Structure 1
Amino acid sequence: MTHYAFYAKFTTHPGEQDTLARRFLQVAEALEEFTGCELFAVAVPLEEADAVYVTEAWSSQEAHSAALADERVSAITGQLPGLLAAAPERVTLVPLGGKGLRV
Structure 2
Amino acid sequence: MYGLIGKMRASSGQRDAIMELLCVSTRALPGCLSYIVATDPADADAIWVTEVWTDAESHKASLQLPEVQAAIAKARPFIAGFEFQVETHPVGGFGLPAGGTG
Alignment CA distance shift 1:78-1:88 (3 Å): farther
One-letter code aligned to 2:6: A
Alignment CA distance shift 1:67-1:7 (3 Å): same
| Secondary structure, aligned partner of 1:50 | strand
Task: Give the TM-score normalised by the residue count of structure 1.
Answer: 0.87
More strand by share: 2
Task: Give the TM-score normalised by the residue count of structure 2.
Answer: 0.88
Q: Residue by residue, what CA displacement relative to the aligned partner does 1:43-90 show, whole Å, maximum 9, x if unpaired?
A: 112221101111100001111111111111111112222212123411
Aligned partner of 1:54 in structure 2 is 49
Which of 5, 11, 18 is the matching residue for 1:7?
Answer: 5
Which of 54, 77, 80 is the matching residue for 1:82?
Answer: 77
Residues 1-103 of structure 1 mapped to structure 2, 5 A cutoff: 3-29=1-27, 32=28, 34=30, 36-102=31-97, 103=100
Return the alpha-carbon distance in structure 2 between the equivalents of residues 67 and 53 of structure 1.
19
| Secondary structure, aligned partner of 2:80 | coil
RMSD, aligned α-carbons: 1.3
- Which structure 1 residue ranges, 5 or more long, are not aligned? none
